[in-house]
Amino acid sequence: MSSPHHFKPTEGAKVPLEVTPTLAAWKYLSFRVLSLQKEVYRGYTGPGETAIVPLEGEGRVEVGAQGFHLRRRDVFSELPEVLYLPPGTEYSIQTSKSFSFAEGSAPAEGRLPLRLFRPQEMRVELRGGANATRQVNHILGPDLPAERLLLYEVYTPSGFWSGWPPHRHDGRMGSLYIEETYYYRISPRTGWAVHRNYSPEDGLDELLLARDGDLILAPKGYHPVAAAPGSNVYYLNFMAGEAVGEARSTPPVDDPDWAWMRQDWAGKPLEIPFGRE
C-alpha cells in the first residue's frame, strides 16, 4: 500500500525529489534534492531561510561577489560543509562535473547573514546504547545560528535502531510542533531500512520500507528507524516548525511505553539458547 509520506526519487531528473508545504500538508518546511551535470543552476530563497547540504560531487555556489566551493565524496566518507542563505537571496550553482545536494527552507525574517558552516563547527555525538547506538552529526544544530531550520545527519549501523526511544514533536504531550523529513542513503545500495510512523491518537500506524534515495516524512507522532542486517543506513533530517532561535534546542517527548530504555539500552533481551539442559 502506498503512503502519502513516502517519496521515491525520479531517476535521471535534475530534481529527483521535492516536497513543498502544500504537498506535505504542513506549514513550514520545504525540501528537495538536486542533481546537476555540467551546468549552471540559478535559485532564489524568497521569503525563507535556506540551507544547502552537499551529498556527492562538487560545485561552486556564488552569492553576489562571494563564492563557496562545496564538495563531498559521498555521505559515508566525510562530514559536509553547509551553506546558510538568508531570505531574499539570489544565488547560482555551477558544476563542471556532477554535483548532488539537498536544499531545504523555512519561513524566516532575515535576522541572520549568509554563512558557511564547516565540519569543525558541527557537534558529533553517539546516542543510545547496545543495538540502539547511532551517530548523530549536528550539521546545523541548535547551537549553530538559524531562525527555524535544524539539520542532522544520522548514521545507523547494520542491524541497529535509531530514533529510539520513539519520540514526537508534533505539538502534543507538551512537545513543540516541528516538521521533519528523512532523506535516506543506504550502503550497499541494495540494502534497506524500516521506518515507522505512528500516532495512537489519530490511528496512524505505517511501516515504510526505505531504500537508497527515498524520502519519508514524519507527519506526526513517533518515528523510529531500524537498519536491516547488512545495511548501513544514513538519513538527513531537515526540520522546521514553531521553535525559533534558541528554542530549537527544546527536546522532543518520548513514547511513555518505551522511555524506560534510556536507563537500560540492552532492553532486557531474551537469553539464548534455552529449553535444553
Instruction: Report the CATH number at residue 255.
Output: 2.60.120.10
Tens of pLDDT, residue by residue over 105-153, are: 999 999 999 999 999 999 999 999 999 999 999 999 999 999 999 999 9
| 181 within 8 A of 235, measured Cβ to Cβ | no
Please state the domain count of the chain: 1
Q: State the amino acid at position 27 in one-letter form.
A: K
Query: What does the DSSP 8-state code read for residue 24?
Result: H
Q: Is residue 65 part of a domain?
A: yes
Residue 220 pLDDT level (bands cut at 50, 70, 90)? very high
> Between β-strands 204-210 and 134-140, what pairing exists: parallel, antiparallel or unpaired?
unpaired
Domain that includes residue 103, residue range: 11-263
Measured distance CA(117)–CA(120) in Å, rounded: 8
Q: Is residue 238 part of a domain?
A: yes
Q: Is the dihedral of CA 18, 19, 22, 23 positive or negative?
A: positive
Hey, is 149 helix, strand or coil? coil
Q: Is residue 86 part of a domain?
A: yes
Tens of pLDDT, residue by residue over 18-43, are: 999 999 999 999 999 999 999 999 99
Q: Is residue 166 part of a domain?
A: yes
Q: Is residue 269 part of a domain?
A: no
Identify the pLDDT of residue 205. 98
> Between β-strands 134-140 and 150-156, what pairing exists: parallel, antiparallel or unpaired?
antiparallel
C-alpha cell of 84?
546558510
Measured distance CA(150)–CA(70) in Å, rounded: 20
| 215 within 8 A of 207, measured Cβ to Cβ | no
Identify the pLDDT of residue 263. 97
- What's the whole-model pTM score? 0.97
Measured distance CA(6)–CA(165) in Å, rounded: 22
Q: Is residue 29 part of a domain?
A: yes
Q: Is residue 36 part of a domain?
A: yes
* Residue 166 burial (C-beta neighbours within 10 Å; 0-12, 13-18, 19+): buried
Q: Is residue 273 part of a domain?
A: no
Measured distance CA(34)–CA(56) in Å, rounded: 11
Residue 161 pLDDT level (bands cut at 50, 70, 90)? very high
User: Which residues 6+ apart lie within 8 Å of 99 measured at CB?
Assistant: 35, 36, 54, 56, 57, 58, 59, 70, 93
